[in-house]
């Protein structure tokens, strides 16, 4: 089955938050495909960031899909708030859901795309039996909580494994990677089968957003086109 082109999703975690709407518009104009929003609760991860009101601001600032990554305990309690705030995709961590199948079914019932994220230490088998029931899998290539961390190469095998399942079963599931994605690692993850690349530092830390997004896209393209 032919795969869609690799999409680039800037993470607003690394943007100038004082100019959030302008930053979102700037990456949209620079060629971003999605906007990635990192929600952290200070419990599941040792950092505290945004809530639904920030998702609403992002939603109003752009026409691009808004990809919400919930790094929070007990996400079932708040997924409805993120759907209402305008999330195109709501992602929950497998480690935070006692009834993962029920959690993703509920996100879809509420009207958003459902994604499941896996920490680096979580095996790919955590999504094996829900793959038919999700729109996306997110393989974390750093431990969640902060931008600017180093890519963990051991995650490539996990990306390859999940890519194989998606292709064998001919599923329309996006395979997203998040953490330490930059020129150099973008090529590796795209080669392993990722088709959505989240990047914070590599885009918002760059002087020219268009060039930064273009560099990631070019690397991914060179791998997936067999070049």
Number of residues that bind ligand DX5 (CB under 6 A): 21
For helices 20-29 and 209-224, the axis angle rounded to 10 degrees is 50
At 210, give phi and psi (nearest 5°).
Answer: -65, -45
Work out whether 75 is an interface residue with ligand DX5 (CB under 6 A).
no
Nearest-angstrom CA–CA distance, 199 and 203: 6
**For residues 105 and 201, which CB has a smaller minimum distance to ligand DX5 in the complex?**
201
Work out whether 178 is an interface residue with Zn ion (CB under 5 A).
yes
Kindly state the tokens that stand for 176: 């997203």
Shortest distance in whole angstroms from residue 58 CB to ligand DX5: 14
Instruction: Report 156-195 residues binding ligand DX5 (CB under 6 A).
Output: 178-181
Shortest distance in whole angstroms from residue 129 CB to Zn ion: 24
Instruction: Report 31-70 residues binding ligand DX5 (CB under 6 A).
Output: 36, 38, 69
DSSP-derived 3-state class of residue 121? coil
For residue 135, indicate whether it is catalytic: no
For residue 74, indicate whether it is catalytic: no
* 3-state secondary structure string across 157-205: HHHHHHHHHHHHCCCCCEEEEECCCCCCHHHHHHHHCCCEEEECHHHHC
Work out whether 91 is an interface residue with ligand DX5 (CB under 6 A).
no
Shortest distance in whole angstroms from residue 19 CB to Zn ion: 20
The partner residues of 196 in beta bridges, in order of sequence, read: 7, 176
Exactly one of 41, 174, 178, 195 is catalytic; which is it?
Answer: 178
Shortest distance in whole angstroms from residue 198 CB to ligand DX5: 5
Exactly one of 38, 67, 174, 195 is catalytic; which is it?
Answer: 38
CB-based burial of residue 181 (10 Å sphere; 0-12 exposed, 13-18 middle, 19+ buried)?
A: buried
- Backbone angle region of 72, left / alpha / beta, with phi > 0 → left and psi within -120 to 50 → alpha: beta
List residues binding Zn ion (CB under 5 A): 38, 69, 178
Binding stretches for ligand DX5 (CB under 6 A)? 11, 13-14, 36, 38, 69, 142, 144-145, 147-149, 178-181, 198-202
Active site residues: 38, 178
């Amino acid at each position: 089955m032919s795969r869609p082109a690799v999409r680039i999703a800037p993470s607003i975690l690394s943007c100038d938050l004082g100019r959030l709407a302008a930053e979102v518009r700037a990456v949209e104009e620079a060629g971003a495909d999605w906007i990635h929003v990192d929600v952290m609760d200070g419990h599941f991860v040792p950092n505290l960031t945004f809530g639904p009101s920030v998702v609403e601001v992002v939603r109003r600032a752009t026409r691009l899909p808004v990809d919400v990554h919930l790094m929070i305990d007990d996400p079932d309690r708040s997924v409805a708030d993120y759907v209402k705030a305008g999330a195109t995709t709501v992602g929950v961590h497998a480690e935070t859901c006692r009834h993962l199948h029920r959690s993703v079914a509920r996100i879809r019932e509420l009207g958003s795309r459902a994604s499941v994220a896996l920490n680096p230490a979580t095996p790919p088998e955590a999504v094996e039996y829900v793959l038919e029931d999700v729109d996306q899998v997110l393989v974390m290539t750093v431990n969640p909580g902060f931008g600017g961390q180093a890519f963990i190469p051991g995650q490539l095998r996990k990306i390859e494994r999940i890519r194989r399942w998606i292709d064998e079963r001919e599923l329309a599931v996006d395979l997203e990677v998040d953490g330490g994605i930059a020129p150099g690692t973008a090529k590796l993850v795209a080669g392993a089968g990722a088709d959505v690349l989240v990047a914070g530092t590599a885009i918002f830390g760059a002087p020219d957003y268009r060039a930064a997004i273009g560099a990631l896209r070019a690397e991914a393209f060179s791998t997936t086109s067999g070049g």
